[in-house]
């Protein structure tokens, strides 16, 4: 990553336009940097709509370019496939696409070996939505341009239903909704947080099972912000067990033998982007999360 410093000469421009002018990056790339909190105006993070003044100093963290993915033979379970798309059951620990310092061993590398060609940007071809490296479960991948464009539109219009299972700390209410903006943490650049001026984000949940120190939730994100579920649940007071970034009780996570966040993309439902036929898929908990849940239930029983 490199830091670009620039003095604004054109007053009244939107911040993302000023960043594009200073770096030579596209408008969309510049807007993404602003949204990620990688741009400061006089030492302060601002929204992309902020109007700069002549003489303002910009400090811009420009990431290193992502490596171009190459096909690799990596076994990834495919639970649905046709000529237009496929749905994989991503294992925990598998990074979705290459990034600086992580050029190989990703889901995209595996998909290129399977499909040969995928639509969309060269650094993340076929990827309609992402899962964090530590999150397991169902992910849609487009195989042609028509499906890619339509699926992205459907995702933006909230026409794809995604259901997650999360084991959380504490005792949440039987059901609830968290509607709070998510953006880059002003204190920790690598973390997200509920912040004023962040992107609109909404998450709903239903309690499936209440245990002694934990609860199993069915969670539905209605928007797709980075780390949204983990940030929202932590902000509401019941962080995901095993989450070393946003969690609290490492002792409890260790007692359940969790080595990653207990977060699993368990369900997908959508109308097929080409045929219109309904697609509904479910993926059971992997062995490590099933064991953690069994241990949590055992703690609950022995405490009675």
Asked about 56 being catalytic, the answer comes back as: no
| Secondary structure class of 154 (helix, strand, coil) | helix
Catalytic residue among 132, 179, 200, 288: 132
Dihedral angle, C-alpha 199, 202, 207, 211, nearest 10 °: 10
C-beta neighbour count of 79 within 10 angstroms:
14
- Separation CA 34–CA 286 (nearest Å): 37
Q: Are 50 and 7 in contact (CB under 8 A)?
A: no
Q: Which helix (H) or strand (E) holds 263?
A: strand 263-271
Count other C-beta atoms under 10 Å from residue 234's C-beta.
Answer: 22
Residues classed as catalytic: 132
């Amino acid at each position: 990553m490199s830091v670009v410093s620039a003095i604004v000469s054109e007053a009244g421009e939107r911040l993302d336009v000023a960043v594009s002018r200073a770096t030579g990056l596209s408008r969309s790339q510049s807007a993404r940097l602003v949204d990620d909190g990688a741009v400061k105006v006089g030492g302060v993070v601002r929204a992309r709509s902020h109007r700069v003044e002549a003489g303002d100093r910009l400090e811009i963290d420009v990431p290193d370019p992502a490596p171009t993915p190459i096909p690799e033979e990596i076994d990834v379970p495919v639970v649905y496939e046709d000529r237009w798309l496929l749905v994989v059951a991503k294992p925990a620990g598998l990074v979705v696409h290459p990034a600086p310092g992580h050029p190989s061993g990703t889901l995209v590398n595996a998909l290129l070996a399977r499909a040969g060609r995928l639509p969309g940007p060269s650094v993340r071809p076929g990827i309609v939505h992402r899962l964090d490296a530590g999150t397991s479960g169902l992910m849609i991948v487009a195989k042609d341009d028509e499906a890619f464009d339509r699926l992205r539109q459907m995702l933006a219009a909230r026409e794809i239903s995604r259901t997650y299972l999360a084991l959380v700390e504490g005792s949440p209410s039987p059901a609830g909704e968290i509607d709070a903006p998510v953006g880059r943490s002003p204190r920790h650049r690598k973390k997200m947080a509920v912040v004023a001026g962040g992107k609109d984000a909404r998450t709903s949940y239903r309690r499936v099972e209440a245990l002694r120190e934990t609860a199993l939730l069915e969670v539905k994100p209605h928007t797709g912000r980075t780390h949204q579920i983990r940030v929202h649940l932590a902000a509401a007071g019941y962080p995901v067990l095993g989450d070393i970034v946003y969690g609290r009780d490492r002792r409890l996570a260790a007692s359940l033998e969790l080595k990653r966040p207990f977060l699993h993309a368990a369900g997908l439902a959508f109308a097929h982007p080409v045929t219109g036929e309904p697609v509904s898929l479910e993926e059971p908990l992997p062995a490590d999360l099933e064991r953690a849940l069994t241990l949590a239930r055992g703690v609950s029983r022995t405490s009675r």
